[in-house]
Amino acid sequence: FWLIDLAWGLLGVSRAAALAVVFLISSLVIYLTELLAKALFPENPDIARRVPCLMLGSAVFIIYSSLILFDLLLTACVLAAVLALLDFAKGLGAICAVTAGLFIGLGVLSKGPVVLVHVAAPILLYPLWRDPHSSLPPRRFFSSTVVVVAAALLPVAAWLGPVLHRLGSSFAYDLVWRQAAGRVSGSLAGAHARPFYFYVELLPVMFLPWILSPHLWRSRPWQRWQAGIDIPLRDQRVIRLLALWPLAVLAAFSLIAGKQPHYLVPALPPVILLLGYFMARIPLGALKVIAAAMLAAAGIAQAVGSGTVLPRFDMTAAASFIEARPDADLAFEGRYQGELTFLARLERPFAVVSPETWDGWLRTYPRGYVVAKVRAFPNTVNRVVFSQCLQKENLVILEAARKSGQMVHVARGSIGGERMEATGPCR
């Protein structure tokens, strides 16, 4: 959100400016994954050359690279930290450990302490993938994690210190402990508690569509790995890292009650590199065709969805109604999730009310409006000044008393409206 605010400050407030940030972060993830391929397989540049195609054709990347979520930004921080750790393991100095720690700290600011799960896997697996001829001894590597942790605390402290000074210790408790512990235990509201095997069921999706490629299966990757055919000893160590890294992350997240599919997005780069290793002999042109087909399919699906599904969620008309009344006090019935703030370009927060309290709120703010989602119209239908079908609900805007005796009703997905005395429930 800080990056989007920066983009808006430079380019003006718009959806395009916000999506430009998402595009840049997605591009950065591809670039860093390519750098990781070069660092892990310096003698096999064909793997790095295939990373952009494999990533752009990945079903997971296509889905999440167009969404405003924190996971790709977290992925970039994890990749940058791992690259710095690789340099440190090669004996390039403590500055690499400090750099890794700073990126871990930025990962904490991006999405919280969950970054530790993603970077802990390659760190703890170090004895299994290190090069005994050119890497630091495990004892020295692990002892230097103190430097990494100390550096990671710097950006966190730089942000958390002023926040605590302004908002107090109760906010720190809710933010640092209650939210993290609540997601682990599943007790936090909206923690998305799911069964422990949830991620196991999703694991094959991480490999789509490449796991279905005949080119991959003709290369017999599993047999080559078991027999060590055409796989140098150094590559075997790296493949071990790439295989165990996402599995360790999956195992750790499976123990956490709160689960969402996108929590595994930062584990996608090692999966892509693993695929890249066993698909290095496949002509690059064939991979480009598959990636282009996946992108085209995603574009068609988005176009169809924009014309059929998205209008059911279109709140532009309600936002226009609110935007035309910039000085009005506003309240939202139920849990407000920012649905109208950006669309209406609001600079003030909504008050939150319930059906039992909105009458009192409207008496206190007689020139204000209450936004609510209802199945049936309130008994005081004369207060409804705006109505819009939103899925199977009515999105209504109420005032203290409608003076004109008329209300605006907007059909689903429309930004125009017609005047009528009343309307029935949406179906």
DSSP for 211-268 reads GG-HHHHHT-HHHHHHHTTT--HHHHHHHHHHHHHHHHHHHHHHTSSB--GGGGGGGH
Q: Are residues 16 and 156 in the same domain?
A: yes
**Is it true that the peptide bond before 209 is cis, omega within 30 degrees of 0?**
yes
Residue 427 lies inside a defined structural domain of this protein: no
Q: Give residues with Cβ within 8 angstroms of 16, minimum separation 6.
A: none
Q: Are residues 406 and 271 in the same domain?
A: no
Residue 425 lies inside a defined structural domain of this protein: no
Q: Give residues with Cβ within 8 angstroms of 157, minimum separation 6.
A: none
b/e map of 186-210 (b: 16 or more CB within 10 Å)?
A: eebeebeebeeebbeeeeeebbeeb
Q: Are residues 243 and 323 in the same domain?
A: no
Pairing of strands 418-420, 407-410: antiparallel
Q: Are residues 108 and 223 in the same domain?
A: yes
Residue 334 lies inside a defined structural domain of this protein: yes
First to last CA, the chain: 36
Residue 356 lies inside a defined structural domain of this protein: yes
Pairing of strands 369-374, 393-399: antiparallel
pLDDT reported for residue 87? 92
Structure tokens belonging to residue 67: 């969404």
Q: Are residues 403 and 295 in the same domain?
A: no
Select from 17, 53, 32 the least CA-distant residue to 292.
53
Phi and psi at 355, nearest 5°, equal -55, -25
CA distance 255 to 277: 30
Select from 40, 25, 31 the least CA-distant residue to 280.
40
Residue 98 lies inside a defined structural domain of this protein: yes
Q: CA angle, corner 288, sides to 283 and 294, nearest 5?
A: 135
CA distance 44 to 32: 17
CA distance 101 to 116: 11
Residue 190 lies inside a defined structural domain of this protein: yes
Q: Are residues 164 and 288 in the same domain?
A: yes
Q: Give residues with Cβ within 8 angstroms of 194, minimum separation 6.
A: 257, 258, 259
Domain end (from 279, 307, 335): 307
CA distance 375 to 72: 37
CA distance 427 to 421: 19
pLDDT reported for residue 122? 92
pLDDT reported for residue 6? 87
Domain end (from 259, 282, 307): 307
Q: Are residues 90 and 213 in the same domain?
A: yes
Q: Are residues 141 and 54 in the same domain?
A: yes
For residue 44, CA distances in Å to 41, 122, 220, 235, 417 come to 5, 21, 19, 10, 62
* pTM summary value: 0.82
Domain end (from 253, 284, 307): 307
CB atoms within 10 A of CB 36: 23
Q: Are residues 191 and 318 in the same domain?
A: no
Structural domains of the chain, count: 2
Q: Are residues 289 and 377 in the same domain?
A: no
Structure tokens belonging to residue 248: 């360790």
Residue 72 CA to chain centroid, in angstroms?
Answer: 6
Largest CA distance in the chain: 84
Residue 426 lies inside a defined structural domain of this protein: no
Q: Are residues 141 and 162 in the same domain?
A: yes
Do 59 and 298 meet the contact criterion of CB atoms below 8 Å apart? no
- Could you tell me the residue range of the domain that residue 48 belongs to? 2-307
pLDDT tens digits for the chain (427 residues)? 778 888 888 888 888 888 889 999 999 999 999 999 999 998 889 999 999 999 999 999 999 888 888 899 999 999 999 999 999 998 888 899 999 999 999 999 888 888 999 999 999 999 888 888 778 888 888 988 899 999 999 998 888 888 777 776 677 666 666 666 655 555 555 556 777 888 888 888 888 898 888 877 777 766 666 666 677 778 888 888 999 999 999 999 888 877 888 889 999 999 999 999 888 888 888 899 999 999 999 899 888 888 777 777 888 888 888 888 888 889 998 888 888 888 888 888 888 888 888 888 888 888 889 888 877 665 555 678 888 887 777 888 888 765 544 444 444 433 333 333 334 445 5
DSSP string, 36-105: HHHHH-TT-HHHHHHHHHHHHT-HHHHHHTTS--SHHHHHHHHHHHHHHHHHHHTT--HHHHHHHHHHHH
Structure tokens belonging to residue 183: 């997601």
Residue 205 lies inside a defined structural domain of this protein: yes
pLDDT reported for residue 412? 44
Q: Are residues 279 and 334 in the same domain?
A: no
- What does the CA dihedral 398, 400, 405, 411 come to, rounded to 10 degrees? -10
Select from 340, 377, 338, 337 the least CA-distant residue to 355.
377
